[in-house]
Chains A and B, each alone.
Chain A
Amino acid sequence: MSPNYITDEVKQLIGRETDWVEACDPVEQGAIRRFHQAVMDDDPIFWKVAEAAATRYGGIVAPPLFPLHAFRRPSGAPDPLNRVSGDPDFDGVTRDFGLGLPPVPIPLPRLLNGGNQVEVYQLARPGDRIRAKSKYVDIYQKEGKSGVLVFILVETVYANQKGETLLKALQTHILR
């Protein structure tokens, strides 16, 4: 009999939603460059000023899924890497699933990216202040080949400083 990880404490998190949270930095040209280089997409709309200006975007834009990764650790926030040397089990990532949602109290050690669904409405531009609002849509467990898998579904809406929707995402995190 597998342990039941979906305790009342976990169930209470389903439906929990954050307020709007703003990314610590505005969208920067340098961040767009590192990003498009790392995904190996040299589309001129990400870096060629005159060419991008002649498109419907009217200027340089960030790759479509850039907002998913716009939320970094603000200056002054605790450094999660302090745990690496003292805790051989620590995988380098926190379990708060970012964006101000409370942690899911499930003592499973491994985190996997299960996939996601995105809807894109507008591309972020340099100078944009990206904000996001997240919600735990569902948390459930299933029996996998190698034991219990816990699925955590987080829905996030990303918007710019004018309140215009950039992107909606439904992310599946898997704990095992």
Chain B
Amino acid sequence: MTRQQVYFDDVEVGQAVPEVRKGPMTVAHIMRWSASMENWHRIHYDRAYAVEHDKLPDVVVNGSWKQHVLMQLVKEWVGLGGWAWKVGFQYRDMDLPGDLITAWGKVTKTYEKGGLGYVELEIGLRNSRGIESTKGTAVVILPRRGGAKVPYPFPVD
């Protein structure tokens, strides 16, 4: 597999990571995810229930799906030689059918520990209505140029 590896040595605070875009989302995309995880929560496919019963503007994109998009953002950036260790998400707003969803990330801190490079990131999802629907943080480990490999499995504290 030929993927460009990002190294700790080349990372700076404030640096943006390559964005990941999904959509525009449709009810079909939402239903496919709900079916793949066997989640039958009606707010994800039953528009009458979502709008009339739960007073939502439409069916909504699953929070559980959104966390995978953020995980993908981080996983793709650290590559096969890094490790996406900790990721946290807070759902601030809804994403709806029609929304194009962009996952973004920005480096907030870098430090070394045990010969490995640790990078903290601010991450989030922004939709095409300009709403920052999900906010989060991540801690990833990157290899150093000429340094030790990032261990896998990653050791439990």
A interface residue numbers (CB < 8 A to B):
31, 34-35, 37-41, 43-45, 51, 54-57, 63-65, 68-69, 72-73, 80-81, 84, 88-89, 91-93, 110-122, 164-165
Contact = CB atoms under 8 A, between A and B. Distances in A.
B130 to A, nearest CB: 21
Contact of A93 (B22, B40, B83, B91): B40
B7 interface: no
B38 A91 contact: no
Contacts of A88: 53
B42 interface: yes
15 contacts: A31-B36, A35-B36, A40-B69, A69-B39, A72-B38, A110-B54, A111-B41, A112-B91, A114-B91, A115-B136, A116-B88, A117-B88, A118-B67, A119-B86, A120-B84
For the complex of A and B, the 7 pairs showing the least CB-CB separation, nearest first, are A113-B63, A122-B153, A117-B88, A92-B40, A38-B36, A115-B90, A39-B68
A120 B87 CA distance: 8
Interface residues of B, number: 47
Contact of A65 (B71, B86, B149): B71
Given A64-B71, A64-B84, A117-B87, A89 B1 contact: no
A73 B154 contact: no
Contacts of B53: 88-89, 91
A122 B83 CA distance: 10
Interface in B51-69: 53-54, 62-65, 67-69
A55 B85 contact: no
Contact of A118 (B87, B152, B154): B87
B47 to A, nearest CB: 14
Contacts of A37: 32, 36
Contacts, number: 115
B16 interface: no
Contacts of A113: 62-64, 91
B75 A43 contact: yes
A41 B68 contact: yes
B148 interface: no
Contact of A39 (B69, B152, B155): B69
Contact of A120 (B22, B32, B35, B154): B154
B156 A56 contact: no
B85 A63 contact: no
Nearest to B31: A38
Nearest to A44: B1
Nearest to B62: A113
A165 to B, nearest CB: 5
B107 to A, nearest CB: 19
Nearest to B66: A113
Given A35-B36, A38-B65, A122 B154 contact: yes
A32 to B, nearest CB: 10
